[in-house]
Amino acid sequence: MTALPGTRSAPPASRRGPLARLREGWPAYLFLLPTLLVVGYFSYYPAYVAVTRAFTDWDGLNTPNFTGLENFQRALTDPVMGQAALNLAIWVAAGLLLAVVPPLLIAELIFHLRGRRRQYAYRTLFVLPIVIPSLVLLLVWGSFYRSDGLLNTLLGAVGLEGLRHDWLSDLDTALPSLIFLGFPYIDAFNFLLIYAGLQNIPDEVFDAARLDGATGWRRVLRIDLPLLRPQLALIAVLAIIGNVQYFISPLVLTSGGPGFATTVPALLMYYTATRDGEYGYAMAIAVLLMIVVVVLTAFSRLLSRGNR
Amino acid sequence: MKRGNLTVGEVVRQGLLLLFGLLALFPLYFSVVNSFKDRVQYAENLLDLPFPAHPENYALAWAQIQGPLLNSVVVTVASVLATLIFASLSAYAFALMDFPGRHLLFGVTFALLLVPEFLTLIPLYVQIQALTLPSNYLAIILPTIAAGQPFAILVLRAAFEAIPRDMLEAARLDGAGHLALLRRIVLPVSLPVLVSVAIIRLIPVWNEYLLPSLVLDERHRTLPVALVAFQGGGAATAVTPNYGALMASYVLAAVPLVLLFAFLMRYYIQGVTSGGVKG
């Protein structure tokens, strides 16, 4: 380290050489080391493997051979992929509505209750269901859909015996059954996010709206929705990302069937690797899905910013 | 607070909320009442209370899932604690230390939020199988710590930055080093935030199914994996399972979360509604 001639006190850090600053930063690097190690090995390296192996005929064990775009070509021309992509499109569209509308509705209802304690009590009530493990919810709903399950019992009780059937093994009802699993769809996280957004709106805004005669639905449409845009946009993006990669309920309840009625691309990716051992092809599907996620996310961000 | 503000609109709103709130909790009610029924009672009525009750279902369920329940507790507690420790160290460095590459490294950890889970699932599975770990638990604990880092660091960094500088300066003049500062001031002051992060992270870790089902051997498998195995191969199977015991296992799987949220619900709500997770 070369101190400037004539300086008495130690020079400020910014004026010292980069090497010296690197050396002085050692406690910081030590603090970051555990994080960087786990993240590097368990997040970045697998992501790197996924992207690079997508261009190979990797079997998970042996050295992969570079095959160029072959996997991608295969994925884009596979008719099963076509059906899976269609299922996914339906799933994402419906999932987007279910992620936004019910939590918004409940948040609005609670926010406009009279009295803080009452609001607090109901807010707690709608967060409470997170104590149900997500897999339990899935399995309980799976039992509702069975031929001897709750749904058919209820249909029988109201005289609609004609509609009774095994919901998950019927070609026409399997996919909607999986998508609409979990009534009334009030995700605690989304609900709290919207509720917090409503609380952040200054009281003056509501007072001004009331003076202008904007009450009830008019106020929701003209004041609340525009001001909730950041929260709603975040929920929309998270719902898209979440639903594109989601495949636990078809994996656990239907194995993608009957036929390919409930197969989504992520499930296809999973089976291609674990069942067929074609890891390279599976990674190509994963990379294609990631491109879809990025495009949809960018698009929805643009949309939520653009229509102002 | 004034009473007597029960207008018609208010009554309707509360009625709707109560209805939807109870519907959201219905799977829990359904599991509890049916966990006490034998096969005949289950077939006869799905909604009523069981008379006579069959608590022996719980003995059956417990025999099946006591191991996995313990495994889930071990995996979840270890993952969440280690996530907090690693993230606290990093958040401290990002918030309160000056070093070259600070912004770059923060960007590198933050960018992980953009790496989707399905992309890394299969490579992780292959990678972990090839790895010789001292304990099979680590096969799920280590990747889970990594997955929790970006969110935890993001929230903790904001909390650490908000700590008044005078407090830290005073301690530093007393000769405290970085580790001492972190342990004696930064962490105690940020305790509510730490609890929030822990509990928000805990939910997905407790519920995790995919990677555990791939990398954990039978002796170490966690609750979600065991529940699916106990249920026996999807709803499409022809055999009617013993629903009473199944439902009892579902109830047992929810008990730890019920206990936890009985005490810490407040921190979950605060964590989600305060700045940390906003877009």
Domains of chain A: 78-203+230-306 (1.10.3720.10)
Q: Residue B277 pLDDT > 60, yes or no?
A: no
Supply the pLDDT for residue A210.
84
B84 touches chain A (CB under 8 A): no
B217 touches chain A (CB under 8 A): no
B:44-73 residues touching chain A, CB 8 A cutoff: 46-47
> First and final CA of chain A: distance in angstroms?
55
ipTM over 0.85: yes
Residues A186-196 pLDDT 10s: 999 999 999 99
B137 touches chain A (CB under 8 A): no
What is the C-alpha to C-alpha distance for residues B57 and B59, in angstroms, rounded to an integer? 5
A107 touches chain B (CB under 8 A): no
Least confident of A98-112, A167-181, B31-45, B117-131: B31-45
> A172: burial class by Cβ within 10 Å (0-12, 13-18, 19+)?
exposed
Stretch B183-210: mean pLDDT, rounded? 94
Q: What does the DSSP 8-state code read for residue B48?
A: S
Supply the pLDDT for residue B235.
45
Single-letter amino acid code for the residue at B119: L
**Interface test mutation site (partner A, options B11, B16, B17, B261, max chain A beta carbons within 10 A):** B17
Q: Residue A20 pLDDT > 90, yes or no?
A: no
Q: Residue A207 pLDDT > 90, yes or no?
A: no
Q: Which residues of A touch B121 (CB under 8 A)?
A: 270
Supply the pLDDT for residue A307.
53
Stretch B127-131: mean pLDDT, rounded? 91
Residues A50-107 pLDDT 10s: 999 999 998 888 888 899 899 999 999 999 999 999 999 999 999 999 999 999 999 9
Which chain B residue's Cα is nearest to A241? B116
Supply the pLDDT for residue B276.
47
Q: Bigger pLDDT: B193 or B47? A: B193
Q: Residue B7 pLDDT > 90, yes or no?
A: no
Cβ-defined contact of A46 to B120 (cutoff 8 Å): yes
The residues spanned by each domain of chain B are 67-212+262-274
Q: Bigger pLDDT: A24 or A202? A: A202
Cβ-defined contact of A254 to B209 (cutoff 8 Å): no
Q: Residue B50 pLDDT > 50, yes or no?
A: yes
Q: What 3 state SS string does A78-142 have?
A: CHHHHHHHHHHHHHHHHHHHHHHHHHHHHHHHHHCCCCHHHHHHHHHHHHHHHHCCHHHHHHHHH
Nearest Cα of chain A lies from the Cα of B63 at a distance, in angstroms, of 18
Least confident of A114-118, B206-210, B274-278: B274-278
Supply the pLDDT for residue B273.
83
Stretch B239-246: mean pLDDT, rounded? 80
Supply the pLDDT for residue B112.
83
Stretch A196-204: mean pLDDT, rounded? 90
A123 and A107 in contact (C-beta within 8 Å)? no
Average pLDDT, chain B: 88
Least confident of A280-294, B32-46, B157-171, B236-250: B236-250
User: What is the CB-side half-sphere exposure of residue B167 using CA atoms within 13 A?
Assistant: 14
Residues A146-191 pLDDT 10s: 888 898 888 888 888 888 888 998 899 999 999 999 989 999 999 9
**Taking the CB of residue A213, how many other CB atoms lie within 10 A of it?**
8
Q: B67-212+262-274, what's its fold?
A: MetI-like fold (1.10.3720)
Q: Which residues of A touch B272 (CB under 8 A)?
A: 188-189, 192-193, 196
Exposure string over B51-87, b if 16+ CB within 10 A, otherwise e: eeebeebbebbeebbebbbebbeebbebbbebbbebb
Identify the band that residue B127 occupies on the pLDDT scale cut at 50, 70 and 90: very high
3-state secondary structure at position B46: coil
Cβ-defined contact of B207 to A184 (cutoff 8 Å): no
Q: Residue B97 pLDDT > 80, yes or no?
A: yes
Which chain B residue's Cα is nearest to A273? B122
Residues A252-274 pLDDT 10s: 999 998 999 999 999 999 999 99
Which chain A residue's Cα is nearest to B254? A132
Q: Residue B233 pLDDT > 70, yes or no?
A: no
